[in-house]
Chains A and B, each alone.
Chain A
Amino acid sequence: EVQLVESGGGLIQPGGSLRLSCAASGFTVSNNYMIWVRQAPGKGLEWVSVIYSGGSTYYADSVKGRFTISRDNSKNTLFLQMNSLRAEDTAVYYCARVRAIAVLDYWGQGSLVTVSS
């Protein structure tokens, strides 16, 4: 059974850093595209970052230069390192598996990140 479990969210001050984890089971992270999608309170879905199976990484303009996506193949885990956090980064962050490069078929339960002083 495919499962994705996020962790690492919490309350952080503006300018701070946080690392989200997404532990996967039932499939191999490194063989798939993996994506982070966020949802600000009361708002819609926004893709944040994607890592391809070959290792290429891409970022939304809103987080480019501040966020880094990575994976640990030995732990079958996806990460999102978030630096220089801003109030507008406050959101629930979801990780998801990307099937056939384009279809987000399995999602984690989400991890809330709150950026506030």
Chain B
Amino acid sequence: DIQMTQSPPSLSASVGDRVTITCQASQDISYYLNWYQQKPGKAPKLLIFDASNLETGVPSRFSGSGSGTNFTFTISSLQPEDIATYYCQQCDNLPLYTFGQGTKLEIK
């Protein structure tokens, strides 16, 4: 099975900072990687699909890149409403919809 390793597990940053989260797959998954945002007490929300495609309605400060085994999720300028836990999810080795462990983002 493919393992997804996210880092860091938690992150503290200031409003306006550039924030980067990484996700590493245990084997090549091409570009089959999605990113989700989960705010406390809420359901996850799709932000990025197929590694770099922004979901409709999602602010352009969010972006994704990468292919193969190494992927990056970036918030170009952190806003207070971005406080959440972010998850990557591989979709190459279906029907195993494996998630990363999550990165909890806090405001400094």
What is A's interface to B at a CB cutoff of 8 Å?
Answer: 35, 37, 44-47, 50, 52, 58, 60, 94, 101-105, 107-110
Instruction: Report whether A46 and B99 are in contact in the complex, using a CB–CB cutoff of 8 Å.
Output: yes
B7-42 at interface with A (beta carbon < 8 Å):
32, 34, 36, 38
Pair B43/A110 contact, Cβ less than 8 Å? yes
Main SS at interface, chain A:
strand
What mask results when residues 54 to 79 of chain B are scored 1 for a CB within 8 Å of chain A, else 0?
A: 01000000000000000000000000
Closest 6 CB pairs of A and B: A102-B91, A58-B95, A107-B43, A47-B97, A45-B99, A44-B102
Chain B interface bracket (under 10, 10 to 19, 20 to 34, 35 or more): 20 to 34
What is the CA–CA distance of A102 and B94 in the complex, to the nearest angstrom? 8
Query: Contact residues of B with A, CB < 8 Å?
Result: 32, 34, 36, 38, 43-46, 49-50, 55, 87, 89, 91, 94-102
Give the distance in Å from the alpha carbon of A60 to the alpha carbon of B50 in the complex: 23
CB-nearest residue of chain B to A104: B46
| Chain A residues whose CB sits within 8 angstroms of the CB of B36 once the complex forms | 45, 104
A50 touching B97, Cβ below 8 Å: yes
Contacting pair B46 A103 (CB below 8 A): yes
Contact A105 B46 (CB under 8 A): yes
Return chain A residues, CB-CB under 8 Å to B38.
Answer: 45
What is the CB-to-nearest-CB distance from B41 to chain A, in angstroms, rounded to a whole number?
9
B49 touches A103 (CB 8 A): yes
Contacts of A47 in B (CB 8 A): 96-99
Chain B: which residue is nearest A106 at the CB level?
A: B46
20 A–B contacts, CB within 8 A, in A order = A37-B44, A44-B87, A45-B36, A45-B38, A45-B87, A45-B89, A46-B99, A47-B96, A47-B98, A47-B99, A50-B95, A50-B97, A94-B44, A101-B91, A103-B34, A103-B50, A104-B46, A107-B43, A107-B44, A108-B43
